[in-house]
């Protein structure tokens, strides 16, 4: 039956049947990110500090989620758990239904940390070949894929330049290309726009919008709330290790009213900070 058939219009019995069938199929698919009652701490004894205090959230396939909070809120600690760099004190973390850090989960994700340190005497092309090789990509695939990626991140004429000559913004662009080299289903970025000038942020915005159209799942932290507002479907706000808000961008903007997202963020943090 064609979707253009009159009986298929939204709200019709046929459309409702298709929606129910789709929901039933999706109910068997685990979330891309599933964090349940995550506790984490640093130090021990009197020096012990609780970094995460039982946060819970999920991210579904195809979502673009902004993870925001002040310095020391627990954003980077959460990402370390998503990648399997740390183990929870309590709670569980899984990606695609697999334990975080497992080989199966890592095969499907790309990651860019807040600070990327690359070997200065490598060329940009060589770096992407190295990371692509680690992901199991064959040389013919890399030969075809690398020039396309370099063009996407605005480095099309920089492939043979040593990385010691790259500015911070250029290294960030290259890091984004590195995260995409294996065409992962999930992309995790810590302080995504770090080091990028206005032109770089514009190019990055277009790149992420393209990834969203491809159905990729994007989870990123950022202090640039304007970028969060332009890109995200959903926003998760964390403060002092607690999840303060988890809501669609649309509902947050409606709640903001005439206030900017930045003003809303500051007011919400102030209300949840003990005197």
pLDDT per position as a tens digit, 13-58? 544 544 444 444 455 789 999 999 999 999 988 889 999 999 999 9
> pLDDT grade, residue 274 (50/70/90)?
low
> pLDDT grade, residue 150 (50/70/90)?
very high
pLDDT per position as a tens digit, 77-136? 999 999 999 999 999 999 999 999 999 999 999 999 888 889 999 999 999 999 999 999
pTM, two decimal places: 0.84
> pLDDT grade, residue 4 (50/70/90)?
very low
Q: Where are the domains of the chain?
A: 114-183
Tell me the Ramachandran region of residue 245: left when phi exceeds 0, alpha when psi lies from -120 to 50, beta otherwise: beta
CA distance 212 to 208: 6
> pLDDT grade, residue 206 (50/70/90)?
confident
Average pLDDT over residues 200-211: 84
CA distance 211 to 65: 13
Average pLDDT over residues 127-149: 95
Q: Rounded to an integer, what is the distance from CA 177 to the centroid of its chain?
A: 14
Helix (H) or strand (E) holding 141: helix 139-152
Between residues 176 and 193, the one the model is more confident about: 176
């Amino acid at each position: 039956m064609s979707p253009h058939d009159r009986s298929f219009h939204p709200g019709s019995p046929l459309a409702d049947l298709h929606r129910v069938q789709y929901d039933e199929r999706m109910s068997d698919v685990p979330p891309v990110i599933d964090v349940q009652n995550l506790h984490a701490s640093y130090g021990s004894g009197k020096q012990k500090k609780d970094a995460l205090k039982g946060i819970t959230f999920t991210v579904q396939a195809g979502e673009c989620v902004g993870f925001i909070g002040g310095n020391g809120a627990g954003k980077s600690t959460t990402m370390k758990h998503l990648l399997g760099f740390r183990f929870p004190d309590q709670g569980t973390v899984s990606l695609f239904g697999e334990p975080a850090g497992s080989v199966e989960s890592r095969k499907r994700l790309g990651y860019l940390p807040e600070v990327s340190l690359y070997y200065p005497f490598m060329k940009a092309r060589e770096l992407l070949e190295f990371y692509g090789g680690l992901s199991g990509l064959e040389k013919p695939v890399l030969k075809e894929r690398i020039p396309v990626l370099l063009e996407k991140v605005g480095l099309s004429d920089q492939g043979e330049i040593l990385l010691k000559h790259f500015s911070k913004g250029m290294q960030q662009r290259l890091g984004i290309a590195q995260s995409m080299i294996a065409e992962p289903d999930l992309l995790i970025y810590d302080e995504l726009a770090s080091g990028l000038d206005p032109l770089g942020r514009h190019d990055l915005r277009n790149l992420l919008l393209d990834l969203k159209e491809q159905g990729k799942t994007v989870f990123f932290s950022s202090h640039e709330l304007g970028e969060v507002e332009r890109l995200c479907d959903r926003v998760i706000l964390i403060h002092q290790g607690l999840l303060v808000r988890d809501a669609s961008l649309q509902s947050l903007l409606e709640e903001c009213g005439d206030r900017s997202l930045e003003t809303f963020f500051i007011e919400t943090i102030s209300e949840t900070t003990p005197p």
